[in-house]
Amino acid sequence: MDLLAEIYNSFNPFETASKEAYVDCREVRGNWEVYQELGKKVVLSNHATCQLCSGHRGTGKSTELLRLKENLEGRGYFVVYFAVDDQDIEPEDVEYADILMACTRHLVEAVKIEQHNPLLEWMKSRWESFNDLMQMEVSFEKLNLEQQISQFSKITATIKAVPDMRREIRQKINANTPSLVKALNDFILQAQKSLPKGKNNGLVIIVDNLDRIVEIKEEGRPSNYEEIYLNRSEMLRGLKCHVLYTVPIDVVYSDLATNLDSSYHNLEVVPMMMVRNPNGDANETGLKKLRELICQRVKLIEPKLEKTLEGKVKGLDLPAVFDSPETLKQLCLMSGGHMRDLMKLIQSAIEQVDQLPITSKAVKLAIEKARETYRKGVQEHHWDILAEANSCKDKKDDKEHLRLLRNRSLLEYRYYDDNDSLQIWCDVHPLIEGTPKFKDALSKIQSVTGTAL
């Protein structure tokens, strides 16, 4: 693989950053740090905690949760982390039963209990029912331990991949929910006594990618969001170990948020990285962080590329990665501080060249392509709303602003001012700002208020 291709693949927008590529960004996330915000509650509490975590997709939430896992493991906790959409649920059709069974499956696989396993006993007593449904023509007693455990993954795999059977399996799980939760808690209590040496401070479950659940609304019924996170909150909180569930950003920016905050021990949102200040000036600290993040990934390919990141260096037989510091800065600014947008812009720019360096023209073409994607997500009546938000750096708590936050036309940032007061503000995504319709809408607002362009 040549150098250009290696750099291209190191910025895969859908891969979680490796430990070596990680950059601490708390300084430009309003001092938000994953252990401080989520881990400390686990370590300090003398009872099981249940927390929620959200954030725009692509902000680095999974990277932070994996760092939390590593941090807690270093403090003597046994952590079961899983991305629930990999093998267990279909994000476009999710109910509480799917999540409960996914937790069950991953716990029983992570902690092997051979004798008097409450979850295997639960499955054994209901084997005939599941056996008839899934046509598994075998006696449960004849299966060895690994085979018995694997039956849970077969159920979750069927829930994910076979829509025709999904509802029937849910009905069976829902009918047996109290007994399953009891068996799960009995298993957890037993597991706590048999955790590996050095991991006996407690059991922690981290359920990632629940934020990818698609909202389902039916007339006269609560949405699946409300059903899962509020109506079933007692069940979600009911496990006798520390649990952290991810939650869709839509739920955070909705009228459910207040009830969520009172139903769970904590609700945290991974903030966006500030690349501009509320007055519109570039946030140099944020830009330096993004530059560091890019540099870190490039260095993993060839350490000396750090010196040629922003231009050719005399005496070094290596090409420049970017043709100038201005080209790299423009790329970072246009990302809005959104990690996945940054990665996609870099890959798109690389696609415009046949060899290094990544040129200013290539970056401009990548920006225009991304801008068109964002433009298509804005409805006609949203341009005035975006222009107003850009002018006042704030949002209203209504459905229209929620929609714009959800599709990242509006971005939310946070920082602490000189008085240590938390300031939260909104702005239009930089890619949106360059569209003619936004400029027209902003011009109209500024002509009314008398603000100069």
Q: Which is it for strands 266-269 and 50-54: parallel, antiparallel or unpaired?
A: parallel
- The interaxial angle of helices 339-350 and 360-376, nearest 10 deg, is 130
Any idea where the domains of the chain sit in the sequence?
3-11+274-376, 33-269, 382-449
Q: Give the mean pLDDT of the chain.
A: 92
Across 58-62, 130-134, 345-349, the highest mean pLDDT is recorded for 345-349
Whether the pLDDT of residue 315 is over 90: the answer is: no
Distance between CA atoms of residues 349 and 330, nearest Å: 12
Residue located via tokens 């991991």: 199
pTM exceeds cut of 0.85: yes
Q: What is the three-class DSSP state of 268?
A: strand
Bridge partners of residue 208, in order along the sequence:
83
- 33-269 placed in CATH 2.60.40: no
If one counts every other C-beta atom within 10 angstroms of the C-beta of residue 36, the result is: 11
Q: 353-386 pLDDT, tens per residue?
A: 999 999 999 999 999 999 999 999 999 999 999 9
% the chain with pLDDT above 90 = 74
